[in-house]
Amino acid sequence: MERKGLRWGILGTGGIANQFARTVLSVEGAELAAVGSRAAETAEAFGEKWGVPAARRFGSYAELAACPDVDIVYVASPHSHHAEHALQMLAGGKHVLVEKAFTLNAAEAEAVFAEGRRRGLFVCEAIWTRFLPANRQLAAFLEEGELGAPRMASAMFGNHFPDDMPLTHRIYAPALGGGALLDMGVYPMSWLSMIARDETPETVRTTGRLFAPTGCDESSTVVCGYGSGLTAVSSCSIKVNYPDEGVICCERGRVRAPSFWRAEGFSVWYDDGREREFRPGCDRLGLRYELISVTEDILAGRTESRVVPPSATLCVQRILEAARLSLGFRYDREKTEKEEENAKA
């Protein structure tokens, strides 16, 4: 009998892992088969909450990787460990859907995709914004060219995280991949890259500031210039609430996408005075669109996503990395031996 779904394992038990577990249970044919955690207690609690079979509540990631009853693993650990854990699951013969931002930097992303290709396994970034019906319709609408070529686009995403939040929280901690760009900036950057058809920008210019207590990036604005004539401006922050709106100005009109990262629709204004509304809507469990798309790809024998192929993820990773490095922020494992020696001096 032909299978209609996949057996999912979840690596990690944090907030996004819980959201994904809820989503798996909402999709017909999908099975929440296993969970892996760093500790047996948290795996047990997570499994009890979401109905994971008792025998597959693993207190180690190695056990999850070795489990024969899992087809694909959703990697929901901190950014700092995405590459390590994705490679571990691939070594165990599992397809992987890796939470955004995909990895700390482009080199790690390239290594994960290369290993997936070597093993013939599916690898995809879980940037769920791109899978939403409204954003897929927007990309198709722009491709049709009714408004002409996009010339200016902007998007911003910022939250004021509590001032009394511990500095050890992942959002502030460099050791956990902290900072605004990987947590918040990936949303507007990926959306804008979609508008640019994932073309590599000719120029990337960044301004911003670092979070003094820990040194991670606190806020930034990145301006990308493309050979197509498009200028894209992305802003993010972990200390300021931004309006999460996307705007695209084209040769013959403009587009406004309220809450672009969880879009339910978008509005179009033509230079001749006409207006149009596109409202495909969005399920409250927005992660289900990526889950369904990934399932379709894998069951069809594909090893790359039709919506977010490796080229799209790599393009965004390179921009995020260039922006972060221009602010003077490097993660520890990116530092040269000389830099580490100076830091200890």
Residues annotated as catalytic are 100
Helix (H) and strand (E) counts for the chain? 11, 14
Local structure of 162: helix, strand or coil: coil
Q: What angle do CA 183, 184, 186 make, to 5 degrees?
A: 85
Sequence-distant (≥ 6) Cβ neighbours of residue 210 within 8 angstroms:
216, 217, 218, 327, 328, 329
| Contact yes or no for 339/332 (Cβ under 8 A) | no
Sequence letter at residue 321: E
Sequence-distant (≥ 6) Cβ neighbours of residue 307 within 8 angstroms:
130, 131, 136, 290, 293
Sequence-distant (≥ 6) Cβ neighbours of residue 243 within 8 angstroms:
156
What interhelical angle do 106-119 and 310-326 show, nearest 10?
Answer: 160
Strands in the chain per DSSP E: 7-11, 31-36, 57-58, 72-75, 95-99, 123-126, 150-158, 203-210, 217-225, 231-237, 245-250, 253-258, 266-270, 275-278
- β-strand partners of 31: 7
Q: What angle do CA 341, 344, 345 make, to 5 degrees?
A: 85
Both structure tokens of 70: 């899992």
